[in-house]
Amino acid sequence: MPTEPGRTSKRPPTAPTRTGAPATPRVHRSEYPPVTVPSEAIHRLVLDGAAARGDHPALVDGLTGQTITYAQLAHMVDRMAAGFAEEGVRPGDVVALHSPNTVLYPVVYYAASRAGATVTTLSALATAEDVERQLADSKSTLIVTVGALLPVATAGAGAVPVWTMDRVEGHRSVQELLESTGPVPDVPVDAARDVAVLPYSSGTTSLPKGVMLTHASVGVNLEQIHAMHRTGPGDRIVAVLPFFHIYGMTVLMNLPLRHGATVVVLPRFDLTQFLDVLEQHRITRAYVAPPVVLAMAKHPAVDGRDLSSLTFLMSAAAPLNGALAAAAAARLGCEIGQAYGMTELSPGTHLVPDGRAAEAPPASIGQLFPSTEARLVSTEDGRDVGLGEPGEIWIRGPQRMLGYFGLQEETDTLIDADGWLHTGDVGTVDADGWWHVVDRVKELIKYKGYQVAPAELEALLLAHPEVADVAVVGAYDEQGDEIPHAFVVRAPGSDLTAEDVLAHVAERTSPYKRVRRVTFTDAVPKSPSGKILRRELRARQG
């Protein structure tokens, strides 16, 4: 099981000013009391009370109605964990989950954890190349997928055994493990050091990296969220965000199941299905990304729906326009708030607390989590800025990752010697503790909440024989979504078209990573050291 790398940070403890003197830190702290960092494994933290909830529905398939009660969930996790142990899954192993949302996804996740394994999650949109790269990098010993994704998983798995969640002829299914009569594994866990989950994130700049989140960091983030945003047995949650993404994993799986809510599962976003579930299952809380808020605010399909049970809609994963949030709140008659975080922070640091959406300034990401410190540091001179002034958001708290798996230098680039994680997002805070994100230092593009690394697309395009140079930056389309925009330098004599560029990328990567705008240019602006001057390219977008 991956554990914490050695700390040899190359960043200075505090950012220097232009004169070379250390900046004076201005540390912001939460108005909420500190929380306790859990010492138990995540499967215990979430499921210890599950069996006692008996027949209360835990997971419901939003399409078929298949239901797993809390008592069944506890039993299934025990039996599957025993089965994993009988099959040789041991502490130190990494089990990969490659699946859309299903009611069995949490069962596999917690069972693998109970057997002592670290879980690494793969996007259901991953290509075979993506699968191959992540399995090799994470050193996965087993991949669990679904029949619909089996060709991709098999092509990328190589010698790694491939199992399925559903039953597919010729392949082992994790459902077989439910028949195990062996003892339930009782694996000792060092919550502060043992890695519970290894999701992949592009961080602030480059290719996806394994983010080492411990049982303690994941667990304390649940405590921090619950201090500001209460979920209980009377709540019904719609799980349309993917479980493989840390946002969905936290607020649609770990958090509601820990507190006895019912999770209604959808494999993907379809507006009609989503509205049907909201209405028919009397959903009380929904967690979405901004494109869903746009649909809820403006799409005619919402008209005539009885969504009166909905009390809170939370948007995260990308910035939400304040006017759009207000329009959706007025139409739905419920609170709408934002949250903020990143995979490297397990993931949350800010949210709009329950009952306070009306007082939150437009587009605010909310207030700082308990047991979390933040700074706003000028990107120009390294000083800590004052109220209302923009600065890069730095975070320090128990929800911070251990580091990037096997990448100490990348870890040290993100986290300084005093433990401050430099988010790459530029924000402000007012006198009442309300925060906003106003810009981005980092190069990462957020397309509909999915992370897109410019470096990955640039490498792909530079492999094209008619591309001499390229830079990819974020742009915004007519709907307000951030999209990848490629500035391409043609090779001498080339008559490469924008359609050629779009097709080259589309054939070689996941749908959400595709380039969606192309501009041909004579040269890519770069600094003397060779770094792409992305701000100049963004300025050309007008």
The separation between the first and the last C-alpha atoms of the chain, rounded to the nearest angstrom, is 48
pLDDT in tens, 46-57: 999 999 999 999
* Domain ranges for the chain: 445-540
Kindly state the average pLDDT of the residues 260-282: 97
* Pair type for strands 450-452 and 285-288: unpaired
Amino acid identity for residue 52 in this structure: A
Closest listed residue to residue 327, CA positions, set 303, 301, 294, 304: 294
Confidence at 542, pLDDT banded by 50, 70, 90? low
CB atoms within 10 A of CB 234: 9
CATH number for the domain whose boundaries are 445-540: 3.30.300.30
Dist CA 135 CA 273 (whole Å): 33
Query: What was the pLDDT predicted at 9?
Result: 46
- Kindly report the pTM of this predicted structure: 0.84
Helix (H, G, I), strand (E, B) or coil at 385: coil
pLDDT higher than threshold 70 for residue 119? yes
Token digits for 205? 């700049």
pLDDT higher than threshold 90 for residue 1? no
pLDDT in tens, 408-424: 999 999 999 999 999 99
Q: What is the mean pLDDT of the chain?
A: 92
Kindly state the average pLDDT of the residues 124-145: 96
How are strands ordered across the β-sheet holding 348-351? 67-69, 57-61, 262-265, 236-239, 285-288, 312-315, 335-341, 348-351, 367-368
Residue 253 in contact with residue 263, Cβ under 8 Å?
A: yes
Residues facing 29 on adjacent strands: 373
Dist CA 25 CA 21 (whole Å): 12
Dist CA 298 CA 522 (whole Å): 41
How are strands ordered across the β-sheet holding 435-440? 28-29, 373-377, 391-396, 421-429, 435-440
Residue 341 in contact with residue 314, Cβ under 8 Å?
A: no
How many residues in total does the chain contain?
542
Query: What was the pLDDT predicted at 298?
Result: 87
Query: What was the pLDDT predicted at 3?
Result: 55
Residue 74 in contact with residue 62, Cβ under 8 Å?
A: no
Residues facing 348 on adjacent strands: 341
Q: Where are the alpha helices (DSSP H) in 394-476?
A: 408-414, 454-462
Token digits for 18? 């232009």
Kindly state the average pLDDT of the residues 222-239: 97
pLDDT in tens, 469-488: 898 999 998 888 899 999 99
pLDDT in tens, 289-305: 888 898 899 899 999 99
Q: What are phi and psi of 462, to 5 degrees?
A: -65, -20
pLDDT in tens, 25-36: 999 999 999 999
Q: Which residues, 6 or more positions from 335, have their beta carbon under 8 angstroms from its beta carbon?
A: 311, 312, 313, 329, 352, 354, 355, 357, 358
Query: Could you identify the residue written with the tokens 């991949």?
Result: 143
Residue 208 in contact with residue 453, Cβ under 8 Å?
A: yes
Dist CA 119 CA 199 (whole Å): 8
Q: Where are the beta strands (DSSP E) in 44-201?
A: 57-61, 67-69, 94-98, 118-122, 142-145, 162-164, 195-197, 200-201
